[in-house]
Structure 1
Amino acid sequence: MRFVLASQSPARLALLRAAGLDPVVVVSGVDEDAVAAALVEPAPEELVTALAKAKANAVIDDITDLDAVVVACDSMLFIGGEMVGKPATPDIARERWARMAGGSGVLLTGHAVVRIDGGRRTKEAAGTRSTTVHFGSPSQAEIDAYIATGEPLQVAGAFTLDALGGWFVEGVEGDPSSVIGISLPLVRQLLAEVGVSVVEMWK
């Protein structure tokens, strides 16, 4: 059985590889704004889980393995009463860091798992993991330098835990792997729900 990661995130892929898996990457190409717009006043958990499910469903037809599990994720930061994803511009990233600095936010990652047996979809499971992130207070020069790298424009909430953004994170309460983009404990649980043992997938 193959493990299919429906994501182009290098952080998710690196984390899974470090955790003993050898994922096949199939990028979903889902229009996240369209999926979100179709929901009526979704709760934060509902939003990220719906996006993860949409990504998993989008790649099913591209899976050529007869037996596989497809795993998709979506992360967003809940801060100041709103859900935010990747900042579209440096100015938005700068404004976001002005709000985040010295404060806290909740990083939510929705997960969807679909099992395929004999080329046919047989079982699925989904869930969300929430982790509180405490941000440091970088200087304006540090924020400008960070934004200039381009990294915060590529990631939910305009920060990373496992790369350059880690310099500006004071701590997390909860699952650090979920902040990186995929919760290893939750994926293990969801795989078990569809009848797959993660230890049997270790390379």
Structure 2
Amino acid sequence: MLIDAGVDPVVRVSDVDEDAVAATVDPSSGPGAVVTALAEAKARVVADRVAAEDPDIAEDCVVIGCDSMLFHDGELTGKPHTAAAATAQWHRLRGRSAELLTGHSVLRMTAGVVVGTASASTSTTVRFADIDDATVTAYVATGEPLEVAGAFTLDGRGGWFVDGIDGDHSAVIGIGLSVVRGLFARLGVAVADVWDSAAPDVQQ
């Protein structure tokens, strides 16, 4: 998503214990608070790692952390991890709608120090197709839904089984560009500041 949007990101996996972080969030805060807390935890871990291991990058950069979960029937679900869990998820979702919540956290780093933070979450309604058992089984067998929030993708095989969305498609894929643009603005960062200057101009 970022590469297509003109950014050449340095990717770092946070390895945050998502269940442990989620358990610290007050349930009364609402489901959006959970994905935001997860995004913040991921961004903070990566910022600390970059400061320690990549001082040249940490001299002047932004760190973006994101996390998504599906909210359906009053329950938040993340990655199913197993075929049985993914199958059960699709049996609950097919022919229905759910909210894909995506938390975003942006940290502004200067001289290896975090000098600003901004966070927000967004919600997108996803309308799932009413697919039959054989199609669910075939999709789960690909392995694609096992390690993605909500057991589906919009930009992969799962896209065949999404009838539509109401909201930001980029947030469903993993990072809401409009949300991040707003967070950048709160930190005094212009979108053009992070564009890859080496990328070729698009010619019509």
Same fold by TM-score, threshold 0.5 exceeded? yes
Cα deviation for residue 200 of structure 1 reads: 2.3
Match of 2:93 among 100, 112, 122: 100
Residue of structure 1 equivalent to 2:42: 55
Are 1:123 and 2:109 counterparts?
Answer: no
Aligned-partner residue type, residue 132 of structure 1 = T
Alpha-carbon RMSD: 0.8
Residue 116 of structure 2 aligns to a residue in which SS?
Answer: strand
Residue 120 of structure 2 aligns to a residue in which SS?
Answer: strand
Residue of structure 2 equivalent to 1:8: none
| Percentage of identical aligned residues | 53
Deviates more, 1:63-72 or 1:103-112: 63-72
Cα deviation for residue 45 of structure 1 reads: 0.7
Residue of structure 2 equivalent to 1:167: 160
Are 1:22 and 2:8 counterparts?
Answer: yes
Any unmatched runs of 5+ in structure 2? Answer: 197-204
Aligned-partner residue type, residue 113 of structure 1 = V
Cα deviation for residue 185 of structure 1 reads: 0.5
Aligned-partner residue type, residue 36 of structure 2 = T
Residue of structure 1 equivalent to 2:31: 44
Match of 2:178 among 152, 171, 185: 185
**TM-score (norm. length: structure 1):** 0.91
Cα deviation for residue 191 of structure 1 reads: 0.9
Cα deviation for residue 89 of structure 1 reads: 1.2
Are 1:33 and 2:19 counterparts?
Answer: yes
Aligned counterparts of 1:202 and 1:155: Cα–Cα separation in 2: 27
Aligned-partner residue type, residue 46 of structure 1 = A
Residue of structure 2 equivalent to 1:12: none
Cα deviation for residue 101 of structure 1 reads: 0.3
Aligned counterparts of 1:82 and 1:119: Cα–Cα separation in 2: 39
Aligned-partner residue type, residue 79 of structure 1 = H
Aligned-partner residue type, residue 77 of structure 1 = L
Aligned counterparts of 1:25 and 1:88: Cα–Cα separation in 2: 22
Cα deviation for residue 40 of structure 1 reads: 2.7
Residue 45 of structure 1 aligns to a residue in which SS?
Answer: helix
Match of 1:91 among 81, 84, 88: 84
Aligned counterparts of 1:133 and 1:22: Cα–Cα separation in 2: 29
Matched pairs, number:
189
Residue of structure 1 equivalent to 2:199: none
Cα deviation for residue 61 of structure 1 reads: 1.9
Residue of structure 2 equivalent to 1:77: 70
Residue 162 of structure 1 aligns to a residue in which SS?
Answer: coil
Deviates more, 1:192-201 or 1:155-164: 192-201
Residue by residue over 1:61-90, the C-alpha shift from the partner in whole angstroms, topping out at 9 and shown as x without a partner, is 221221110000000000111000000311
Aligned counterparts of 1:110 and 1:61: Cα–Cα separation in 2: 20
Residue of structure 1 equivalent to 2:60: 67
